[in-house]
Chains A and B, each alone.
Chain A
Amino acid sequence: MGENHTRPLSEIEIRVKALETLLIEKGLVDPAAVDALIDTYEHKVGPRNGAKVVARAWTDPAYKQRLLADGTKAILELGYSGIQGEDMVVVENTPEVHNVLVCTLCSCYPWPTLGLPPVWYKSAPYRSRVVIDPRGVLKEFGTEVADEVKVKVWDSTAELRYMVLPERPAGTEGWSEAQLAELVSRDAMIGVAKVAAPGK
C-alpha cells in the first residue's frame, strides 16, 4: 500500500478520477451507488458462481437433472439470479456432443453465473467465425474436438442465456465439490475449452 503512495497516477486514472469528482459534485452520481455497482461485479457475480453450479451438477445427479430441465430454477437454488440471467438454459457436453456459445447479434452472456463477458467474446471475429468454423476457432483456443464428436453452436439471439456444463475430467473420483469447482474455468462454461484433468 505505502509503496504506491508516491507513484504518479496514469493518464486514464486521472481522467476517471476527474470525471467521478465532477459527476459527484454536480449531484449526478451517488458515490454509494458506484460502490454498490463495483462491489457487485468484484465480489458477487463472476465465473466462480458458474463453477459452483458445475461442481454441484458433477456430484449430485438429481441436481444435474434439475439443472438441465430448468436452468434458471436450479441455478437459483445456489442463490444466483439477476440481470442477464433471468432465463437460463444449461447445455451438457458429453463424449458425443461439444457445445459452444456465441451471441452473433451483440454480446449476450449469463452475468450471474459467468460475470461480464471477455473482450474476445464480444469481438466481431469470434462472433462471425465461431458459427461458420467452430472447430477452427476451438483449435485456436487449444481445444481439439475429435472428428466423431458433434459440435453444437448455440447463438443466443433471444432472451435466453446459456451456459455449458463441461465434462467432468477423469482422475477426479472422490473429489469434493469445492475441489472440483476450482478446476472449472470460465472458458469451459462458454465451451471454448474443456476442463483439464488434474495435473495436466
Chain B
Amino acid sequence: MAINLVQALGAALAGASSREAEGSAPRFKAGDEVVVLNINPSGHTRMPRYIRGKQGVIDRDHGIFVFPDTFASGTGKKPQHVYSVRFTARELWGPQGNPKDALLVDVWDDYMEPR
C-alpha cells in the first residue's frame, strides 16, 4: 500500500485547526449588541435555529475561522471572525427562561447584524 496508514492516522489524530491567519475585518467587538439573522439556508449551516432573529451581546471574539456554509458547498473558505454571543434565557425562551441564566453560542460574523 502506498501510504503508511499508521503515519496517516497519526497525522489525523494530531488534528488541524480551521483557524485562518487572515479574513474579513471584524464587524463586532465585545459588548456590542447584535441580532442574529432570520435565515433558513437550504445547505449546510452552523447557526442553530433557536437563535435566529434573537438579540444578543458579543461576549468575546474567538478570532478568524473558515465559514462552514460556503466551505461545505465548495464556494470558498470566506474566513471571518467567530464570536461567543450571549443570549439571555428570557430572550430565547420567554417567561419560561430563568432571568439569571444565559446561553453562549459561537456565531460567525456573517450570521449577524448590528442592533
Residues on A lying within 8 angstroms of B by beta carbon are 27, 29-30, 32-33, 36-37, 40, 81-87, 89, 104-105, 131-132, 134-135, 147-160
Contacts and interface: CB of A to CB of B under 8 A. Distances in A.
Contacts, number: 102
B33 to A, nearest CB: 18
A38 to B, nearest CB: 11
The main secondary structure of chain B at its interface with chain A is mixed
A33 B6 CA distance: 5
A193 B1 CA distance: 47
Contact of B106 (A135, A148, A157): A157
Determine which residue in B8, B15, B66, B82 has the highest number of CB atoms from chain A within 10 A of its CB, and name it.
B15
A132 B10 contact: no
A47 B95 CA distance: 37
Contacts of B62: 87, 89, 158, 160
Given A150-B102, A153-B103, A159 B65 contact: yes
The main secondary structure of chain A at its interface with chain B is loop
Contacts of B66: 159
B24 interface: no
Interface of B: 1, 5-6, 8-10, 12-19, 46-48, 50, 62, 65-66, 82, 84, 92-93, 96-98, 100-108
A152 B9 contact: no
Given A81-B15, A132-B96, 9 more contacts: A32-B5, A33-B6, A33-B8, A81-B14, A152-B103, A155-B103, A157-B48, A158-B82, A159-B82
B13 A40 contact: yes
B48 A154 contact: no
Nearest to B17: A86
A40 B10 CA distance: 10
16 contacts: A30-B1, A33-B5, A33-B6, A81-B14, A83-B16, A86-B18, A89-B84, A131-B92, A135-B101, A150-B101, A152-B101, A154-B104, A155-B103, A157-B47, A157-B107, A158-B46
A151 B93 CA distance: 15
B101 A151 contact: yes
